[in-house]
Chain A
């Protein structure tokens, strides 16, 4: 079991609209993969396709060689967790009650709450630093705390694979880094395979081992950030002129957009 996700000739549609087309992709197991691309390029749709929430119009998604659409929903949910971009927080639910729901795929219809369930919940709270928040209503938390509570739910699910859809959106820089460091720690300490959609190319380069670049629902590039990210790619995919320099902190590629001519002329004049 390497937790490797593969797609072959994957087409994903909403109604008549083809959102992701002919995608052949291998997401390495045991690694952190970042999926990047411009708005509406099909990143979130791809994540829904990878997690069985959207059935493919054509092609397959396999996890370690097994077609995920032939698995039972519960079997897959024990191996793969997903944090949607804007999850729905039930009214007045407490952090602990939310995290407990992560145990759903492990529970039988009539089985009582087990010691293993409780252990998984405690560990998830601990790891995300939400233990002290456990009895607070989620809808009263700050954005960063709320995101950590939701990650705790995905952790309580205890899956080897974790898909995160833009986990840093709507967070300030401090909380973005907190979430990304948490993800890095989950990978490094708990050996989780992580696939996340990110917007910031520099963050993606810093935190991911593998990078997938989408444009208009098609694969533009895939590989390590150093292999993939260069000025040509950013120009062709994001339509932005830039320089790509080594990140002074980490040496990973850092995208520095060219200064706008008008703005630059105004300040120097």
Chain B
């Protein structure tokens, strides 16, 4: 109460400042997304102007341009956007659920499981349409594995990460094994399932996983209030009428579904889900309803941008986008882990 005289001033300004930052960040994110999408349609072996590319997108102009834009560049760009949005949101949900800045589907093995699921179905000769189903099954399996190994310890930070990385490594090895074992079925998409790539995505793949992703993303946004109430701890959340265990499982399932569908489109892309929540938090401060949506937007921009870098800015040709994100992700994870285990941090409640 003693600070009453000075408080009102800081109050209104701090609130509008946060709101302005969120708006600015959202605005620039949308602009960046639009620009990157346009760029991704124009550049490539057949460069064209933005106008030509956008006309070709709706089927106007030279037949060759239309084919390149509609059948090659557009599905690849949409796959990157959808997968990025799913990964960003999944990371955001998981980090809040576990109160752990290291939680993310790639660190926890979910993306590895999803890739394995997809690869297993393809190896068995299933149609591409079933990839999302296989990915979802594999992702859930990985989550169950992680739960079985790490749950008893009350999900301590280091244990969760170490177990997750072990699960992820084992699943990645299994993917490699499948690719060696079934060269005919899988060799064409080997890079996608080992490193993560959106190269050569077709509309068939994009519609299936993308449609499912939109549904899951919507449900996740609808449940943001439950996520905020869960932040209060089980007793307070329970007293507010939230069924905590059921809600936590629902949200966990949603996050796994988002990451698995992203993997169905892009393979085991790392870093995006881990980094996006930190970026959003850095810009907008503590999580609000808006930050979940912003995490999706940021993830989309990040993955699409990385894919453009891979395609056009690097001297090495044919690199998968997963190689870039993994290169960025490894040091990022290291820094986070060091910061987590530093004495200053540990002393805080």
Seen from chain A, the residues whose Cβ lies within 8 Å of a Cβ on chain B are 48, 51-53, 72-78, 80-84, 87-88, 90-94, 97, 101-102, 104-105, 107, 109-110, 129, 132-137, 145, 153, 157, 163
**Contact partners of A48 in chain B: CB under 8 A:** 235
Closest to A107 in B: B225
Q: How far is the CA of A97 from the CA of B290 in the complex (A)?
A: 13
Q: A88-B232, A92-B286, A107-B225 are in contact. Are A136 and B7 (CB under 8 A)?
A: yes
- Chain B interface residue count, CB cutoff 8 Å, equals 30
Q: A87-B232, A92-B286, A101-B232 are in contact. Are A76 and B241 (CB under 8 A)?
A: yes
Known: A87-B232, A104-B240. 4 other contacts (CB 8 A): A73-B238, A88-B236, A97-B288, A101-B228
**Contact partners of A157 in chain B: CB under 8 A:** 240
B8 CB-CB contact with A under 8 Å: yes
B20 CB-CB contact with A under 8 Å: no
Q: A53-B239, A132-B7, A135-B14 are in contact. Are A92 and B233 (CB under 8 A)?
A: no
**Contact partners of B127 in chain A: CB under 8 A:** none
Closest to B226 in A: A104
18 CB < 8 A contacts A-B = A51-B238, A52-B238, A73-B243, A75-B241, A77-B239, A77-B241, A78-B241, A81-B239, A83-B236, A88-B236, A90-B232, A92-B285, A94-B286, A101-B228, A101-B229, A101-B232, A104-B241, A105-B241
Q: How far is the CA of A74 from the CA of B14 in the complex (A)?
A: 34
Closest to B229 in A: A104
**Contact partners of A135 in chain B: CB under 8 A:** 10-12, 14-15
Closest to B286 in A: A92
Most buried by A among B232, B239, B240: B239
Seen from chain B, the residues whose Cβ lies within 8 Å of a Cβ on chain A are 1, 3-4, 7-8, 10-12, 14-15, 222, 225, 228-229, 231-236, 238-243, 285-288
**Contact partners of B234 in chain A: CB under 8 A:** 53
Say yes or no: A129 contacts B1, CB within 8 Å. Answer: yes
Q: A82-B236, A132-B1 are in contact. Are A104 and B242 (CB under 8 A)?
A: yes
Say yes or no: A84 contacts B7, CB within 8 Å. Answer: no
Closest to A44 in B: B235
What are the 10 tightest A-B residue pairs by CB atom distance, in nearest-first order? A77-B241, A88-B233, A82-B239, A92-B286, A90-B231, A74-B241, A105-B241, A135-B11, A84-B235, A73-B241
**Contact partners of B11 in chain A: CB under 8 A:** 132, 134-136
B interface majority secondary structure: helix
Say yes or no: A91 contacts B286, CB within 8 Å. Answer: yes
**Contact partners of B229 in chain A: CB under 8 A:** 101, 104
Q: How far is the CA of A159 from the CA of B12 in the complex (A)?
A: 30
Q: How many A-B residue pairs have CB under 8 A?
A: 87
**Contact partners of A93 in chain B: CB under 8 A:** 231, 286
**Contact partners of A129 in chain B: CB under 8 A:** 1
**Contact partners of A107 in chain B: CB under 8 A:** 225
**Contact partners of A132 in chain B: CB under 8 A:** 1, 3-4, 7-8, 11
Closest to B231 in A: A90
Q: How far is the CB of A132 from chain B (nearest CB, A)?
A: 5
Q: How far is the CA of A132 from the CA of B6 in the complex (A)?
A: 10
**Contact partners of B3 in chain A: CB under 8 A:** 132
Closest to A90 in B: B231
**Contact partners of B238 in chain A: CB under 8 A:** 51-53, 73
Q: How far is the CB of B29 from chain A (nearest CB, A)?
A: 22
Residue of A87, A91, A133 near B233 (CB, 8 A) is A87
Q: How far is the CA of A53 from the CA of B236 in the complex (A)?
A: 9
Q: How far is the CA of A82 from the CA of B228 in the complex (A)?
A: 17
Q: How far is the CA of A76 from the CA of B241 in the complex (A)?
A: 7
Residue of A51, A94, A137, A145 near B239 (CB, 8 A) is A51
Closest to B15 in A: A135
Residue of A53, A74, A94, A136 near B235 (CB, 8 A) is A53
Closest to A134 in B: B11
Say yes or no: B235 contacts A87, CB within 8 Å. Answer: yes
Q: How far is the CA of A73 from the CA of B242 in the complex (A)?
A: 7
Say yes or no: B235 contacts A82, CB within 8 Å. Answer: yes
**Contact partners of A91 in chain B: CB under 8 A:** 286
Q: How far is the CA of A91 from the CA of B101 in the complex (A)?
A: 12
Say yes or no: A105 contacts B231, CB within 8 Å. Answer: no
Say yes or no: A109 contacts B15, CB within 8 Å. Answer: no
Most buried by A among B8, B228, B232, B288: B232
**Contact partners of A90 in chain B: CB under 8 A:** 228, 231-232, 286-287
Q: How far is the CA of A80 from the CA of B3 in the complex (A)?
A: 33
Q: How far is the CA of A60 from the CA of B8 in the complex (A)?
A: 49
